[in-house]
Amino acid sequence: MSIVRTFVLSMCLLLIATDVHCGVRGVKKHNIMIQRVSIHQLGDDSFKTIGEYFGNKKEHSYFRCIARDDENIRAGTYFVVGLNKSITLLPREIFVKIYVITLLRDGVFSFKCKVPDHRHAFVSEIYCGITSMPVDIKNIRAWKVELVDKDDKVLCSQHSYMWQ
């Protein structure tokens, strides 16, 4: 009986130490913040897996959380949003809004990507792809990234120095 008690106590301590609570998915509770944002130009080959080369037509994200503004196109400009905690702590219906100012066009362009529900516990990055229109990294002057819920309430955000 003492072995079972020790096991249960150790599991409780593990849950408390890792800040994982069953049923609690609020962002405020877990203080999720955007720690870093990096921008990459990625092509179709960056997302191809071995299975696709052997005839499997379905894209597998494996241990990457990939959100695109146009799900049918893979190639584009990706904002890799690094969070301070696992993305499993985010609410189920969450979106990433990206605002971009470029040299070539006047005004602010905004893109909205839905974060998929099939998420892995190990992942703390979201690959947010602008795939609906070409945006060259060299022409981006300022950007802002927001995590918003289904009601467009901003949960956390990060912006470039030039955005100010």
Domains in the chain: boundaries: 24-163
Give 42's strand partners: 76
**N-term to C-term CA, the chain:** 61
Amino acid (one-letter) located at 115: V
pLDDT of residue 85: 87
User: Is 78 within 8 Å of 99 (Cβ atoms)?
Assistant: no
- Name the pairing type of β-strands 76-83 and 140-149: unpaired
Q: So what's the pLDDT on residue 54?
A: 75
How far apart are alpha carbons 54 and 60 in whole angstroms?
A: 13
Q: 73 Cβ partners below 8 Å, 6+ apart?
A: 131, 132
Which uninterrupted H or E stretch holds 143? strand 140-149
Per-residue pLDDT of the chain (164 residues; tens, 9 = 90+): 567 566 555 655 444 444 443 333 444 555 889 999 999 998 887 777 777 777 766 666 667 888 899 888 889 999 999 999 888 888 888 999 999 998 887 788 899 999 887 667 778 899 999 998 888 888 899 999 999 988 989 999 999 998 87
- Half-sphere exposure (CA, 13 Å, Cβ side) for 111? 25
Top CATH class, 24-163: mainly beta
pLDDT recorded at residue 26: 42
Report the 10 Å Cβ neighbour count for 76: 22
Contact 131, 27 (CB under 8 A): no
